[in-house]
């Protein structure tokens, strides 16, 4: 740990661990607040691509901060041995944890609230030509006020495309990996009645427009935010 980091923050308990480093809770006496301290061990980064992603993560988060639905970065400490990012501290449970705990999923009203905040974060990224490339329930956090926070920009880059999920299953289904890839290529989006029987026509319409194979017709994040499903707050509405 570098001296500047030690001088500014008191490291507390470890709250997470990844392939290349750890996340700990830390306290700033100056700001009188707690933060998340993500430290990456550069000696573990043998792949040049991993090293590039590490450098990009700090830069991209700095560009995107502050935004109410993106984890904010406060400080960066870069040495020959490690890179440490001090970020806002979020709740321990991710969206994935909340989905599992809900034991059956969310109602459309709650889903719309979460999706709207997430799309606000994505739209903000796209305004800077930045794509996250790893959007999944595990990387969606919540702050103490229950606001959605998009996290983990380790795979993010300038330009590209991301893939989303809904209803608890991948948007393109196949019995094998090969069949799934074939469905993606064909743009064959299906809504099996057994799984989607309680999903409203408006929600299905939004999904079709967000996962449209034709790029010229596919909704952007900002277009999706104007869809009737969000305007109604996830309430069941007619699409006639």
Q: Summarize the annotated binding site for ATP as residue ranges.
A: 38
Top pLDDT among 235 and 75 is at 75
Domain regions of the chain by residue span: 3-88, 95-231
Q: Would you state the pLDDT for residue 104?
A: 76
Which pair of tokens denotes residue 98? 């909340």
Residue-wise pLDDT tens digits, 193-219: 888 888 999 999 999 999 888 888 999
- pTM for the model stands at 0.82
pLDDT(87) > 90: yes
Residue 11 in this model has a pLDDT that exceeds 70: yes
User: pLDDT band at 182, cuts 50/70/90?
Assistant: low
Confidence at residue 72, expressed as pLDDT on a 0 to 100 scale: 97
- 134 is an active site residue: yes
Say yes or no to pLDDT of 172 above 50.
no
Nearest to 154 by CA among 2, 31, 29, 49: 49
Q: Is the pLDDT of residue 19 over 70?
A: yes
CATH topology of domain 95-231: Transferase(Phosphotransferase); domain 1 (1.10.510)
pLDDT, greater one: 155 or 1 = 155
Mean pLDDT of the chain: 86
Q: What CATH class does 3-88 carry?
A: alpha beta
Among candidate residues 91, 162, 81, 94, the one with its CA nearest the CA of residue 125: 162
Task: Give the residue, 159 or 103, on which the prediction is more confident.
Answer: 103
Of 97, 134, 143, 157, the active-site residue reads: 134
| The pLDDT of residue 236 is above 70 | no
- What Å distances lie between residue 161 and 18, 74, 211, 225, CA to CA? 24, 27, 12, 18
Residue 167 has pLDDT above 90, yes or no: no
Walk across the sheet containing 82-88 and list its strands: 10-17, 21-28, 33-41, 82-88, 73-78
Binding site residues, as ranges?
38
Q: How confident is the model at residue 191 (pLDDT cuts 50, 70, 90)?
A: confident
Q: What 3-state class would DSSP assign to 70?
A: strand
CA dihedral (34, 10, 4, 46) positive or negative:
negative
Question: Are domains 3-88 and 95-231 of this chain identical in fold?
Answer: no
| Per-residue pLDDT reduced to its tens digit, 114-133 | 999 999 999 999 999 999 99
């Amino acid at each position: 740990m570098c001296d500047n980091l030690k001088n500014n923050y008191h490291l507390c308990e470890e709250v997470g661990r990844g392939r290349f480093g750890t996340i700990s809770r830390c306290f700033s006496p100056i700001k009188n607040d707690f933060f998340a301290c993500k430290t990456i061990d550069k000696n573990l980064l043998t792949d040049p691509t991993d090293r590039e992603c590490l450098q990009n993560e700090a830069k991209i988060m700095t560009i995107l901060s502050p935004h109410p639905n993106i984890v904010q970065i406060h400080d960066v400490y870069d040495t020959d041995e490690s890179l440490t990012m001090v970020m806002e501290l979020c709740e321990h449970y991710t969206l994935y944890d909340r989905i599992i705990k809900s034991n059956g999923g969310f109602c459309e009203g709650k889903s719309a609230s979460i999706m709207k905040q997430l799309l606000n974060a994505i739209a903000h990224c796209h305004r800077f030509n930045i794509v996250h490339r790893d959007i999944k329930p595990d990387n969606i956090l919540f702050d103490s006020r229950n606001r959605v926070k998009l996290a983990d920009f380790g795979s993010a880059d300038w330009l590209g495309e991301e893939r989303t999920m809904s209803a608890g299953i991948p948007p393109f289904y196949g019995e094998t990996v090969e069949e799934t890839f074939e469905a993606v290529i064909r743009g064959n989006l299906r809504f099996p009645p057994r799984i989607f029987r309680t999903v409203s026509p408006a929600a299905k319409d939004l999904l079709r427009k967000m996962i449209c194979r034709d790029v010229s017709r596919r909704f952007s994040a900002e277009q999706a935010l104007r869809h009737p499903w969000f305007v109604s707050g996830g309430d069941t509405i007619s699409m006639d």
